[in-house]
Amino acid sequence: MSPALETTWLFDIDVLIGPAQPVGTGPAGERTDYPIIGGSFAGPEIGGVVLAGGADYFLLRPDGVGVLDARYQLRTTSGIVIDIHNRGLWVPNDAGLAKVKAGGEPAADELYCRCTPVFHAPEGPCDWLNRIVCTGRVTYPRADLVRVACFRLL
């Protein structure tokens, strides 16, 4: 039997989002864009702010599963700008799915939401981010706040 994957916590990203921008329904599902308007990130080795200007291009599939596709930038406290592309799945359980179908939002214990952040950092002190694989746990502390706990796979 293979050993379990190990991780180490890198940082938490608190992403502030603006009002939902409905795009419409297509063959793959209902698309809603959530503009990224700011935020912060912090961990033991790196921290800074989330720059305004990105978005999460969220797709709610007909089966009730959401596909996260967020692109935005982080700026470290030393001024380095890092691109992040964060894809993932937003999966409500049966109780959460019933709330979604009724036009509501699932509670925290009714939702499984995980992602795979990929970073693009310029050469220099943060370029190690270009050579790691990460996973993230996504939570929604408030309607305008998405928290991504980022972990490096060892």
What's residue 99's pLDDT? 86
Residue 102 has pLDDT above 90, yes or no: no
Q: Are 86 and 118 in contact (CB under 8 A)?
A: yes
| Residue found under tokens 């938490």 | 12
Q: Does the global pTM surpass 0.85?
A: yes
Residue 108 has pLDDT above 90, yes or no: no
For each of the domains in the chain, give its residue range(s) and CATH number, in order of start: 7-153 (2.40.160.20)
What is the bridge-based pairing of β-strands 7-17 and 145-153? antiparallel
Q: How confident is the model at residue 20 (pLDDT cuts 50, 70, 90)?
A: very high
- β-bridge partners, 24: 31
The per-residue pLDDT for range 43-91, each reduced to its tens digit, is 999 999 999 999 999 999 999 899 999 999 999 999 999 999 999 999 9
The whole-number average pLDDT for the span 126-151 is: 96
Residue 1 contacts residue 20 (beta carbons within 8 Å): no
pLDDT score for 148: 98
Q: What is the CA radius of gyration of the chain?
A: 16
Share of the chain above pLDDT 70, in %: 100
